[in-house]
Chains A and B, each alone.
Chain A
Amino acid sequence: MAATPYGLIATFETPAEIYAAAKQVRDAGYQHWDCITPCPIHGLDQAMGLQRSIVPRFSLTGGITGFCTGMSMIFYMNGFDYQLTVGGKPFFSPLFAFPVSYELTILFTAFATIGGMFFVNGLGKLYHPVLKYEHIVRGLDDRFFVVIEARDPRFHAGHTRALLERAGGREITELED
Chain B
Amino acid sequence: MAHVENALAAPAVLQEVKPTSLPRPALVGHHRSFSWISDKICGIVEGETPAWWWWCFTIACLIACFTVGGITYVVATGVGVWGHRTPVNWSWPIVNFVFWIGIGHAGTLISAILCLLRQKWRTSINRSAEAMTIFAVVCAGIFPVFHVGRVWYAWFLFPLPNYNYIWPQFRSPLEWDVFAVSTYGTVSVLFWYVGMIPDLALLRDRFARAGRLMRARIYGLFALGWRGSARAWSNYEMAYLILAGIATPLVLSVHTIVSFDFAVSLIPGWHTTIFPPYFVAGAIFSGFGMVLTLMLPLRAIYHLEDLITQYHIDCMCKITLATGTMVGYAYAMEFFIAWYSANPYEGFTFINRAFGPYAWAYWIMISCNVVTPQFFWFKAVRQNTTLVWILSLFVNLGMWFERFVIICTSLTRDFLPSSWGYLSPTVVDIFTFFGTFGVFSVLFLLFIRFLPLMAMAEIKGVTPQADPHEGPGHGHPAAAPHA
5 contacts between A and B (CB under 8 A): A39-B233, A39-B458, A53-B239, A113-B243, A123-B197
Cα distance A52–B230 when bound, in Å? Answer: 13
Does the CB pair B242–A56 fall under 8 Å?
Answer: yes
- Among A138-146, A150-158, A161-169, which stretch is in contact with chain B? A138-146
What sequence of 0s and 1s flags, for each residue 101-124 of chain B, a beta carbon within 8 Å of any chain A beta carbon?
000000000000000000000000
Which residues in B have their C-beta under 8 angstroms from that of A136?
Answer: 205, 227
Chain B residue nearest to A60 (CB atoms) is: B242
Which residues in B have their C-beta under 8 angstroms from that of A24?
Answer: none
CB of B383 within 8 A of chain A?
A: no
CB of A10 within 8 A of chain B?
A: no
Partner of B183, one of A15, A34, A39, A103: A103
CB of A4 within 8 A of chain B?
A: no
Does the CB pair B228–A126 fall under 8 Å?
Answer: no
Q: A106-B187, A110-B190, A114-B190 are in contact. Are A43 and B8 (CB under 8 A)?
A: yes
What sequence of 0s and 1s flags, for each residue 39-51 of chain A, a beta carbon within 8 Å of any chain B beta carbon?
1111111111010
Which residues in A have their C-beta under 8 angstroms from that of B351?
Answer: none
Does the CB pair A140–B238 fall under 8 Å?
Answer: no
Does the CB pair B35–A142 fall under 8 Å?
Answer: yes
Partner of A15, one of B250, B257, B466: B466
Does the CB pair B187–A110 fall under 8 Å?
Answer: yes
For B5, B165, B228, the residue with the greatest tally of chain A CB atoms inside 10 Å of its CB is B228
CB of A172 within 8 A of chain B?
A: no
Interface of B is mostly: helix
Cα distance A18–B466 when bound, in Å? Answer: 11
- Among B170-178, B374-382, B399-407, which stretch is in contact with chain A? B170-178
Q: A39-B457, A140-B202 are in contact. Are A16 and B470 (CB under 8 A)?
A: yes
Does the CB pair B4–A42 fall under 8 Å?
Answer: yes
What sequence of 0s and 1s flags, for each residue 3-37 of chain A, a beta carbon within 8 Å of any chain B beta carbon?
00000000001111011001000000000001111
Which residues in B have their C-beta under 8 angstroms from that of A137?
Answer: 202, 205-206, 208-209
Does the CB pair A77–B167 fall under 8 Å?
Answer: yes
Partner of A48, one of B167, B198, B230: B230
What sequence of 0s and 1s flags, for each residue 79-101 of chain A, a beta carbon within 8 Å of any chain B beta carbon?
00110101101000000110110
* B176 CB to nearest A CB, Å: 4
Partner of B165, one of A54, A82, A89: A82
Chain A residue nearest to B38 (CB atoms) is: A141
CB of A120 within 8 A of chain B?
A: yes
Which residues in A have their C-beta under 8 angstroms from that of B171?
Answer: 78, 86-87, 89, 96
Q: A77-B167, A82-B167, A124-B224 are in contact. Are A140 and B235 (CB under 8 A)?
A: no
Partner of B229, one of A34, A46, A81: A34
Cα distance A113–B465 when bound, in Å? Answer: 30
B binding-site residues for A, Cβ under 8 Å? 1-2, 4-5, 8, 33-35, 38, 159, 165-173, 175-176, 179-180, 183, 186-187, 190-191, 194, 197-198, 201-202, 205-206, 208-209, 220-221, 224-239, 242-243, 246-247, 249-250, 253, 257, 260, 456-458, 460-461, 465-470, 482-483
Does the CB pair B170–A100 fall under 8 Å?
Answer: yes
Which residues in A have their C-beta under 8 angstroms from that of B461?
Answer: 39-40
Cα distance A156–B250 when bound, in Å? Answer: 51
Given A36-B227, A77-B168, A126-B225; 17 other pairs, CB 8 A cutoff:
A15-B470, A38-B34, A42-B1, A42-B467, A42-B468, A46-B4, A50-B230, A55-B235, A77-B170, A86-B171, A99-B260, A100-B175, A103-B179, A103-B250, A109-B246, A126-B220, A142-B38
Which residues in A have their C-beta under 8 angstroms from that of B165?
Answer: 82
Partner of A140, one of B179, B190, B205: B205
Chain B residue nearest to A110 (CB atoms) is: B187
The 10 closest A-B pairs by CB, nearest first: A142-B34, A77-B167, A19-B468, A117-B239, A137-B205, A35-B230, A53-B238, A39-B461, A15-B468, A39-B460
Cα distance A44–B221 when bound, in Å? Answer: 28
Which residues in B have their C-beta under 8 angstroms from that of A38?
Answer: 34, 38, 198, 202, 228, 456-457, 460
Q: A82-B166, A100-B170 are in contact. Are A107 and B237 (CB under 8 A)?
A: no
